[in-house]
A and B are shown apart, each in its own frame.
Chain A
Amino acid sequence: MHLEEEDFSYSGEALIARPNNPSSISDDEWGDYLFMRKNPKGRHVEQWQHSSGCRKFFVIERNTIDNTIYSSYTMIQASKEIKHETN
């Protein structure tokens, strides 16, 4: 099935875990969580929302040079599978 890009909204880098204990971490750690981004030239793991459709968020791995999409995940799959790969 083909859907237009306009059906979706972009929500940036995926799998940025919110620190469990914000009040006890340093300003550097909190600033890093809030603002710092990988912004890679190449493969990027990112969140999108099907905002004009089912409203679900999902994760894809996309190439930021030529827009090739390598894989897609539900949020639950992504948190299990991709984290597992990078750990």
Chain B
Amino acid sequence: MKYSIFSLLKQGLKDNKEWPEAWSSPIIKSRYDVVIIGGGGHGLATAYYLAKEHGVKNIAVLEKGYIGGGNTARNTTIVRSNYLWDESAMLYQHSLDLWNGLSQDLNYNVMFSARGVYNLGHTLQEMRDIERRVNANVINGITAEVVLADEIKKRIPLINISKNVRYPIMGASYQSTGGVARHDAVAWGFARAAAALGVDIVEQCEVTAMDIDNSKIVGLNTTKGYVATNQVGCVAAGHSSVLAEMANVRLPIESHPLQAFVSEPMKAVLDTVVMSNAVHGYISQSDKGDLVIGAGIDSYNSYSQRGSPHVIEHTAAAILELFPAFSRARMNRQWGGIVDTTPDACPIISKTNVEGLYFNCGWGTGGFKATPGSGHVFASTLANDSPHPLAVPFAIERFYNGHLIDEHGAAGVAH
């Protein structure tokens, strides 16, 4: 069913009791042309673009939990593309271009809202870095500008630009084309659109072993039986190393908890996204009214979707330094997700030594913004058995030949 004003009216008159399910729950088949492991936003987007743009018919997405239960629904929903280096700027801008038409493309409202993103600078050196990054962005055709403290105060009345704090705000980079989207709608929208193109989305199905014959992938053992296939795309975020081990592939990934929390809903007080590397936090207000707050990872490797309380304390302290008025806000929910960090804070989109086995991982703390672009370039990589031009620099080989893309400055904290 196409969602429109007419379907809304029609179903409304039937008391909203006859809406069909958004995607079906098929019985897993014994053979697929392509299997995507991981039903998060990136995996679903990969399947969607494989079916839509590359005409692949027989695709499965295997998800060990349920759709919208992992990192796709655990992040702070920030979308931006103001990365320093050409390679990552191009990749994230490709994604931002797709965000702009995504709701129409998927026929599902992902509520992408380009409300702008501020990355604050609190020291002279940070301001120099911001100038450099903004200039690099502009050269790459990415909307960016430097804004000074007084102007920030005009645009964000609640922010504290006093000099009587430990790290006074001096200015910011501003990307007016960035913003937020509704995270779980992104998972649902891609799932529904992929299923409509014939993709089998199999939930509660965990891959337990890979069947590799003579350095070629030939099948997967899953909790729902054996699946024969010659092409497998692993898009498992924090669990990528677990899959890699099944294939004896080595990855430079370490899994860490990343925590976030939201306040009780309140009236509109913040109409943009504010991030700070120095005090280490980022905040926006959802359409529902709650303040959405996050910060950095817990330091230790972990696969539990929770972190340590002192990280929450540090995050809250950072946000209160920026917005003292929020000290009265009560926090509503807190959670963690498992992020797959790499040494250069950039993703891995790559073939492996096993023929037919591909990895799309390492998005670390900032993968949500890349969801459509990541799926788009990975689908092309799978369909052509050759990396999409934008994915070439992100191959695993960079950790052996030294061509790292050091985005810690742009990606270290901010998402």
Q: Among B251, B255, B308, which residue has its beta carbon within 8 angstroms of that of A5? A: B308
Known A-B contacts A5-B308, A66-B304; the reply to A39 vs B401 at CB < 8 A is: no
A selection of 9 A-B contacts at a CB cut-off of 8 Å is A5-B310, A9-B299, A36-B251, A37-B252, A39-B251, A40-B241, A41-B239, A44-B301, A64-B301
Q: Is the CB of B343 within 8 A of A67?
A: no
A37 to B250, CA, bound (A): 7
Kindly provide the distance from the CB of A43 to the nearest chain B CB, expressed in whole angstroms. Answer: 11
B222 at the interface (CB under 8 A from A): no
Please indicate the chain B residues that have their CB under 8 angstroms from the CB of A12 in the complex: 254, 301
Please indicate the chain B residues that have their CB under 8 angstroms from the CB of A53 in the complex: none
Kindly provide the distance from the CB of B217 to the nearest chain A CB, expressed in whole angstroms. Answer: 20
Q: Which of B269-284 contact A (CB under 8 A)?
A: none
Q: Is the CB of B399 within 8 A of A65?
A: no
A37 to B254, CA, bound (A): 7
Listed from nearest, the 6 A-B pairs whose CB atoms lie closest are A31-B400, A39-B241, A35-B252, A36-B250, A10-B299, A35-B399
Interface class of chain A by DSSP:
mixed
Q: Among A31, A34, A38, which residue has its beta carbon within 8 angstroms of that of B241? A: A38
Q: Which of A23-37 contact B (CB under 8 A)?
A: 27-28, 30-32, 34-37
A52 to B255, CA, bound (A): 25
Please indicate the chain B residues that have their CB under 8 angstroms from the CB of A62 in the complex: 300
Known A-B contacts A6-B310, A35-B343, A39-B255; the reply to A27 vs B400 at CB < 8 A is: yes
Known A-B contacts A27-B401, A31-B399, A34-B399; the reply to A41 vs B300 at CB < 8 A is: no
Could you say which of B245, B301, B399 has the most chain A C-beta atoms within 10 Å of its C-beta? B301
Q: Is the CB of B399 within 8 A of A36?
A: yes
Known A-B contacts A27-B401, A37-B252, A41-B242; the reply to A65 vs B310 at CB < 8 A is: no
A9 to B301, CA, bound (A): 12
Please indicate the chain A residues that have their CB under 8 angstroms from the CB of B310 in the complex: 4-6
B263 at the interface (CB under 8 A from A): no
Q: Is the CB of A32 within 8 A of B308?
A: no
Cross-chain pair count, CB within 8 angstroms: 65
Please indicate the chain A residues that have their CB under 8 angstroms from the CB of B303 in the complex: 41, 64-65
Q: Is the CB of B250 within 8 A of A32?
A: yes
A4 to B208, CA, bound (A): 37
Please indicate the chain B residues that have their CB under 8 angstroms from the CB of A38 in the complex: 241, 245
Kindly provide the distance from the CB of A26 to the nearest chain B CB, expressed in whole angstroms. Answer: 9
Kindly provide the distance from the CB of B50 to the nearest chain A CB, expressed in whole angstroms. Answer: 28
Please indicate the chain B residues that have their CB under 8 angstroms from the CB of A67 in the complex: 302, 304
In chain A, what residue has the closest Cβ to B250? A36
Q: Which of B298-345 contact A (CB under 8 A)?
A: 299-304, 308, 310, 343
Kindly provide the distance from the CB of A49 to the nearest chain B CB, expressed in whole angstroms. Answer: 11
Please indicate the chain B residues that have their CB under 8 angstroms from the CB of A30 in the complex: 400
A32 to B255, CA, bound (A): 18
A36 to B412, CA, bound (A): 20
Please indicate the chain A residues that have their CB under 8 angstroms from the CB of B201 in the complex: none
A43-62 CB contact bits vs B (8 Å, 1 = yes)?
01010000000000000001
A62 to B401, CA, bound (A): 33
In chain A, what residue has the closest Cβ to B304? A65
In chain B, what residue has the closest Cβ to A29? B400
A64 to B300, CA, bound (A): 9
15 new A-B contacts at CB < 8 Å, known A36-B250, A40-B245: A6-B310, A10-B300, A27-B401, A31-B400, A36-B251, A36-B252, A37-B253, A38-B241, A39-B255, A40-B241, A46-B300, A64-B302, A65-B304, A66-B304, A67-B302
A27 to B403, CA, bound (A): 12
Please indicate the chain B residues that have their CB under 8 angstroms from the CB of A31 in the complex: 399-401
A46 to B299, CA, bound (A): 12
A13 to B254, CA, bound (A): 9
Could you say which of A30, A35, A40, A64 has the most chain B C-beta atoms within 10 Å of its C-beta? A35
